[in-house]
Amino acid sequence: MFVKSLRSAALLGALLGAASLAHAQPATDPAFASLKTCLSGAVPASNEDYMKSINPALNDPDRVSWCLFLYVSSQAATQGNNNALFETWASDNETFQPNPVWPTTPPVMALRQPILPHLARAPQPGDVTPFVLPFQSQCDQSQQPPPCVGEETRRNKSTFDFIKNNTLFTREGLRAYNKTIVFPADSIEVKANWVPVSQLAAFLGQSGAPVDPSLYHLNTTTENGQQVQYALLSFHVISKMVPNWTWATFEHMNNPGRCDFIGCADNFGMNPPFTAPHSLRNPGKQYPNCTKTPALTALFATFNIDPKFANYCLKGSQTDFTDASGVPTRVGNSVTEGGFVATASCISCHGRSAYSFSTGGFTMNRIFIYMGDTPIGNVGPLDPGQFVMFPQQDPVQGGNIPLFKSADFVWSLPLCALDASGRSRCANK
């Protein structure tokens, strides 16, 4: 009787948990149906299993990270492309335009230099937020010697609709939005990094990894009238399943220095579950493949994906700013956060995404702090003093002076929102 009750309760909990994720997804979407099944997990056999199953994003984060990975990587290829599902979602080009339109045909791959390594430069005199984002949609060989890594951000329809319907794609829309920004629970974003197949050898360098494009998820785009094939190197996946989002980053098994500085951790899908970093004196070398556990192999069989995605590894998941001892958690990707992986924390960095009109003009919060000329990523809890003038004041009393308004962990809003001239720092015109 107990097990039967548990199964009924688990089913109800799974249905309720999936309901918030399902409202913006087609009811017949087989990939989303697989995601819901994956997130629900096995039928709990004990009280402990049941209680853990209520919130898998917090209690079983690495499994949830793989469920999201398999979902966004689901096969969505059509004539002339090799698209995974996330490659059919809206990019910054579709989102940050005067009239954002959800793509009804496969959108063109629109790549730029990886944002964070580009921003991680010493501030110049007078700089408050040092960055000038590039606008090229391909690797410009005159500006970028090989390897020419490109980056894109994609968001699902729930995320896109929230930005569009609330006019958060413009700075004036951000100014006018007088509520706390809270994205829907089924919001998902992917930030992906690619390299031209012709430059794969340059990317791998002297790491010892084989130069074999057949090991990568590949896709092709048109640049300057020519077909250019790209190999997927790595990507972040975030979801609003919990208020502070879920955070996971994945890398191809052959990425040089994949586990440098902070190691690679996956308590669900990798055997052994931790790969220690190499010596700091020997960075950028090859690491062993992340051998998949039987549990993860079984999950792969439930999704329709490009088989090459089996060659990618979970670098780490993040659900909180600190561990139980108060030590800041760290997750960083060797490509996306190249140059400051040792001080990378997805949740801490994105938690600082904020903007202000308190001085009349538009200002966004700083991404980095600096020690001399060295960029330091933000780790650990957020500093409330960045958001309000008197952080220790009882909020019930009111009257506190706001400094910056949170963008709900989504840097794309302050980074990419259209300025008064209709220009976005992130989108090509």
C-alpha span between 13 and 222 (Å, rounded): 46
The answer to whether the beta carbons of residues 193 and 149 sit under 8 Å apart is yes
Q: For residue 119, what are the CA distances in angstroms to 186, 219, 294?
A: 30, 27, 40
Question: Nearest Cα to 89, choosing from 168, 173, 191, 166?
Answer: 191
C-alpha span between 425 and 177 (Å, rounded): 21
Q: Which residues lie below 8 Å from residue 109, measured CB to CB, with a gap of 6+?
A: 87, 152, 194, 219, 221, 230
C-alpha span between 215 and 290 (Å, rounded): 14
The answer to whether the beta carbons of residues 251 and 223 sit under 8 Å apart is no
The answer to whether the beta carbons of residues 159 and 92 sit under 8 Å apart is no
Q: For residue 330, what are the CA distances in angstroms to 131, 134, 293, 323, 389?
A: 24, 28, 24, 10, 28
What is the predicted pLDDT for the residue at 324? 94
What is the predicted pLDDT for the residue at 67? 98
C-alpha span between 269 and 74 (Å, rounded): 18
Phi and psi at 2, nearest 5°, equal: -60, -45
C-alpha span between 338 and 404 (Å, rounded): 28
Q: Read off the tokens for 398.
A: 């009111």
For residue 267, how far is the Cα from the chain centroid? 20
Question: Nearest Cα to 304, choosing from 28, 30, 25?
Answer: 30
User: What radius of gyration do the chain's Cα atoms show?
Assistant: 21
- Measured in Å, how far apart are the chain's first and last C-alpha atoms? 63
C-alpha span between 57 and 55 (Å, rounded): 6
Task: Reduce the DSSP state of residue 322 to 3 states and report it.
Answer: strand
What is the predicted pLDDT for the residue at 141? 54
Phi and psi at 315, nearest 5°, equal: -80, -35
Q: Read off the tokens for 241.
A: 């399943």
Residue with tokens 């958060």: 168
What is the predicted pLDDT for the residue at 377? 82
Question: Nearest Cα to 32, choosing from 381, 295, 232, 304?
Answer: 304
pLDDT along the chain (429 residues), means of 10: 41 41 54 93 92 93 98 95 96 95 88 70 44 48 72 96 98 97 98 95 93 97 88 98 97 97 97 95 91 97 96 97 96 91 94 92 83 76 90 76 94 95 83
Kindly tell me the number of DSSP H helices and DSSP E strands found in the chain: 13, 14
Task: Reduce the DSSP state of residue 219 to 3 states and report it.
Answer: strand
